[in-house]
Structure 1
Amino acid sequence: MRVGVPTEIKDHEYRVGLTPESAGEVVRHGHEVMVQSGAGLGIGATDDDYRAVGAQIVDTSDQVFSKAEMVVKVKEPLASERALLRDDQILFTYLHLAPDPDQTRDLLASGAICIAYETVTDATGGLPLLKPMSQVAGRMSIQAAAHCLEKAQSGRGVLMGGVPGVLPARVTVIGGGVVGFNAAQMAVGMGADVTILDRSPRALEALSRHFGVQAKTPFSNATTIQDCVSTSDVVIGAVLIPGAAAPRLVTRDMLGTMKRGAVLVDVAIDQGGCFETSKPTTHSDPTFVVDDVVHYCVANMPGAVARTSTYALNNVTLPHVLSIADKGWRAALGDDANLADGLNVWNGQVTNAAVAESLNLDFVPITTALHS
């Protein structure tokens, strides 16, 4: 199979679909790899590094898309890239379709087979291709919040861990999954006063066991969210419903009860965001202020630490890239029900129920695609 890796073009996105080491593995499996010139520079990988493992370097994304049978990316294709997709071409990347009707429409029109990292599952019901980026984003959310709390960034002028004689920042993390756990770890490590909200008694028990007295773990409902938001210096939005749009848990009215210069970091922005006032931002212009509350809503946070993120991502995506290249998409998905859960778009139809429901589109079961 001919596998193509274009340069990512989202604002300040430095990750790359395949590292040189991963590209070498694909070549050793007997496949061709085409990498757009400069695609790996953001992680410190030169064109010569790719050539050394047997990959071909091409000049433009048009060449990658026109020749590749499978395109391996990191972020969702932007409009100019979607226009290059063709019938029966495989696209393997993050998609986050639920809050993005324009992308969904274009992918449906392309006729491409679109497999989303974020809905591939594992035997325990986890999301193994989303997990490493959730770990990165969770940890980065506290770094971002600490910076945004500074007065020069319109924040309250509060140091996350405080100092002797002065209280630390109060941090509320909404959602105790992978993002929330990693955010809490960082906040606790910095000495903040941390509260983690979740609706799963099992998750709360695990969080309580891990953090002990270092973090409070109340059950999440409208009342506890309101109470915590109104008293916090930082609120991290870390909720996820796989494939679906994130629920809006912090309303515009709640902002009026918050401290002037408090910070909201919406890690769920890829799925539409869990704060009513959220809108996607970029690394070039990461924040905005509503009702004196600073909002940080960068939709590709891990792109800022591209080398760490790319290698962490490739650790989990490469086995699936090899499977699809070796067997073809239909056989690879047929042999692996967890990988099959990643199929979001096929033959102009939506094959993920949560995406279809979020966008009010018809749903076609994955089995239909596999047995067509």
Structure 2
Amino acid sequence: MAVAFILFFGGNASTPIERRLDAVRLAIAVHLLRAASKAQFDPLLVVSPDPTVHDALARYAEVLRPSTTPFHLGHELQRIARDRRLDRLCVTGAGYGALVSAADLRALRERVDGADEVLISNNYYSGDLVAFAPAKALDALDLPATDNPLPRLLHQQAGLPNHELPRGAAWLLDVDTPTDATILARDMRCPPEVRAAGTWEREIGPHIDRIAGLFVTPDVEVVVAGRVGAPVWSFLETQTACRVRMLSEERGMQAAGRDAAGAARTVLGFLYEQLGPDRFFARMAELGQGLILDSRVLFAHLGLRPSAADRFASDVFDAGAIAEPKLRAFTEAASAAPIPVLLGGHSVVSGALFTLAELAWQRPVASSPTASRQ
């Protein structure tokens, strides 16, 4: 039986930095749709309100406009499955799949095609890619507005047997931020058309270089903080030469709505409130020679709800583009920190972190900070 491939793409970016990131996501979508076509998914569908997305992707898939306002992924997915009588679905979003190959997708399609009841995702708690059957399982759900809780709901409420894809950069990387895009472009597996779409090399490339150097340097320590899963820690412990100091907090924060409800709390947030921005990053430098921070958890603790443009400006250390005083002060302090800092969302401590650790070994060990001083 056929397995449908459905890609949701928000688009309609209103600021230059958001449009730059959407250009990267469009290039990723082209790559992924081509791979899905080779893997014999059928039909290929894109759902987006953005005319730019329609123009860019119409040759690779049928592009539909959403019917819900505000957008609600669960209702859209249920409507599409019913109207088109689809029984087997693979669902993903913009920015996902740059390192996923046609062979990867073919194996996934065959697993979904060969089972009466199945649920496969790249992350049970926060899915970026979710493949399942039968589609009528959606009828048993409290339909989610986003894709993040979909795997958990399909398992808990519809009873589908859950399976997770292998943990690694290919299945986990989801480009949500400029940091993710810039890390991806440095990986030798990055599709050329994605790399050509542009990155923030000047702004954060040096930070990436320094932290990649730390990953291949014994007897140094890297601090990783945010919504970090146990598989990430296990991977870093076995696949990097450095020590890793990890603080995992607020896993599933967005899927559970804790950020929107103002309920998110983090130890680093309490420390930040006590010390202030400059002293906070100075204290982080006492814990390690580099810091990778899922800053969205800290923002939620502090009650900050910055726009996408302001979040991305913070990620690339462009404090001058940020109007909110607290976020601007945070960004200035991160930029001036005595150690290299990488900022981003969940992917910077998940898929992008896997990618960064893997690509660290693609570069000469001699370029690490320790080696360069010898």
Shared fold (TM-score greater than 0.5)? no
Q: Which has the higher helix share?
A: 2
Give the TM-score normalised by the residue count of structure 1: 0.37
Give the TM-score normalised by the residue count of structure 2: 0.37
